[in-house]
Amino acid sequence: MGDKELRAETLDGAPGGAKAPTAFLEVRDLRIHFPTDDGLVKSVDGLSFQLERGRTLGIVGESGSGKSVTSLGILGLHNRRNANVSGEIWLDGQEIVGSSPDQVRRLRGRNMAMIFQDPLSSMHPFYTVGNQIIEAYRIHNDVSKKVARKHAIDMLGRVGIPQPDRRVDDYPHQFSGGMRQRAMIAMSLSCDPELLIADEPTTALDVTVQAQILDLLRDLQEEFNSAIIMITHDLGVVAELADDILVMYGGRCVEYAAVDDVFHRPLHPYTWGLLGSMPRLDRERSERLLPIKGTPPSLINLPSGCAFNPRCVYSELNDGRSETERPELEELEPGHRVACHLPLARRKEIWDNEIRPKL
């Protein structure tokens, strides 16, 4: 089944793609291109996915695959003067791509929040942590400063900041990296977002703090029933948190499935590579057996055919199709979509006999 048919199916045959979906978040054929002096950078090129409340989608791919551009697109944060954005992003029945900046701002404030890798970039250095949470809270809640301050202290306590009634008056630089990340989560959650986008939220943190932050997100999700998009280059980070995983390569989706399928029955050679290069505590770095050789492609001139073909050890098994014909995303098994020319039976054989035993 090709991309078009997939769309037709989800759209219930609606002409023009204008019908509102039933999913809480639905992204349809999203494209985000940047015209530059060197050429058109196709950072996101035909991405489609869905997410329900209370569920988590992991978007995984190497650096430069278009993950952050996607998340900024969902938040409606690209400047239309230097980005060409097309497709549809439906959030709770409202379409974002075609909305005015004012409408998007209102929607963002009410429904969405984002956690970045580097909290310092989104916290103001000259205001106390507490004041920033108070301001964020009061934008959407008509309450006195005193009530908002109590709420800020409460939120800081809930994200695990010790002595929150004292730390509320600290400045961001007085917090450690992990504490700052927690404070940013408190700030993001202080307006009860229905959609939380976490872009590499734990990349800069050590393993223990990383695990604590992921636990925290899981608890808060249970409490607020938020939908979460967790963006990472490391499949390990989303193994326990995500319900579904979308693997991106060169601005496109190459595999999209339930987390169990991605870890136990992956069907794309690039996903095999990501699994093989996952850091493992029980194994020395040098013992990782299947690192992906080569570098990610330029998004101005993607390789012809399958964008992964220069790095794929199976590209020659397809009578040259890997070099000439771009594989469409197909639903090979219920809810399991993959873009690769390899025959399904051959792929299962390779996974079972060659890849899985080495992981």
Ligand X SMILES: Nc1ncnc2c1ncn2[C@@H]1O[C@H](COP(=O)(O)OP(=O)(O)O)[C@@H](O)[C@H]1O
Binding site for Mg ion (CB under 5 A): 67-68
Q: Does 61 bind ligand SF4 (CB under 6 A)?
A: no
From the list 48, 56, 65, 322, which residue makes contact with ligand X (rule: CB under 6 A)? 65
Strands (E), the chain: 25-36, 39-51, 56-60, 84-91, 94-95, 112-115, 195-199, 227-232, 244-249, 252-258, 330-333, 336-338
- Indicate which single residue of 253, 322, 350, 351 sits in contact with ligand SF4 (rule: CB under 6 A): 322
C-beta closer to ligand X: residue 39 or 320: 39
Q: For residue 144, which phi and psi values (nearest 5 degrees)?
A: -70, 165
Instruction: Report, in angstroms and rounded to the nearest whole number, the Rg of the chain calculated over CA atoms.
Output: 21
Name which of 82 and 144 has its Cβ closer to ligand X. 82
Closest separation in Å from C-beta 67 to ligand X: 3
The reply on whether position 17 binds ligand X by CB under 6 A is: no
**Amino acid identity for residue 185 in this structure:** I
Q: Measure the CA–CA gap between 182 and 217, rounded to whole angstroms.
A: 10
Site map 67..106 versus ligand X, x via CB under 6 A: xxx------------x------------------------
Asked if 340 interacts with ligand SF4 (CB under 6 A), we say: yes
Between the alpha carbon of residue 356 and those of residues 225, 285, 347, 352, the distances in Å are 35, 18, 12, 6
Asked if residue 238 lies in contact with residue 58, where contact means CB atoms within 8 angstroms, the answer is: yes
Task: Between 24 and 314, name the residue whose CB sits nearer to ligand SF4.
Answer: 314
Q: Which residues of the chain form contacts with ligand X (CB under 6 A)?
A: 34, 36, 41, 43, 61, 63-69, 82, 299
Q: Which residues of the chain form contacts with ligand SF4 (CB under 6 A)?
A: 269, 306, 308-309, 312, 314-315, 318, 322, 327, 340-342
